Amino acid sequence: MIEVEIKAKLNKDIEKKVNRQAKYQKKIRQVDTYYNHPNRDFGKTDETLRIRESDSNVLLTYKGPKKDTKSKSREELDIQIGDIFELKKILLKLGFNKVAEVKKVRRDYHLDDFKVSLDTVEELGDFIEIEKIVDEEKYEESLDEVLKLAKVLGIDTDSIETRSYLELLIEKKK
């Protein structure tokens, strides 16, 4: 599956449009812990290995390289984890290195076939993400749909942020 996604800085006008047009789902706190492979630099290969803790849910996620320069679209594989502490021990024993943690409060909405998230990310500020999970063959069509929705919500497509929260956080700390 491909996660077709765009992200941009959130402002009050965009937030008002989301609140008027989308259906609110839930508010959750997420802590994303990122790891790097012992023998290849995920920063160079544009891959991601992440443990996401949200409420009582834990996911291990692998994300492949980005598919284009207009968005954050990429292959995404998730697996539910029962014991986060054991998973972290396994990764460390296998030589994976903890890179950083990204902490955020996420407000999730649904708008037609799209998931819209309003994120407040510690140390980075407020963002909007629009995503749609699709099969590979629907990627191009879905990217166009996501970009059209972004315009409807008042997002200037020139302001789309293609870097991940992890990349933004690492850049800010340099």
* Whole-number pLDDT of residue 167: 93
User: What predicted TM-score, i.e. pTM, was given to this entire model?
Assistant: 0.92
pLDDT tens digit sequence for 121-165 = 999 999 999 999 999 899 999 999 999 999 999 999 889 999 999
Report the phi/psi class of residue 166: left, alpha or beta, with left for phi > 0 and alpha for psi in -120 to 50: alpha
- Token pair recorded at residue 96: 């994976």
pLDDT tens digit sequence for 55-92 = 879 999 999 999 999 899 999 999 999 999 999 999 99
* Whole-number pLDDT of residue 55: 84
Nearest to 8 by CA among 102, 123, 126: 126
Contact 113, 131 (CB under 8 A): no
Token pair 């850049």: residue: 171
Q: Which of 34, 35, 109, 139 is catalytic?
A: 34
Is the pLDDT at 10 greater than 90? The verdict is: yes
Q: How far apart are CA 108 and CA 169, in angstroms?
A: 22
Whether 34 is catalytic is: yes
| 1 contacts: CB under 8 Å, gap ≥ 6 | 75, 76, 77, 133, 134, 135
Go through the domains of the chain in sequence order and give each one's CATH number: 2-173 (2.40.320.10)
* Whole-number pLDDT of residue 50: 97
pLDDT tens digit sequence for 85-100 = 999 999 999 999 999 9
Nearest to 63 by CA among 34, 20, 101: 34
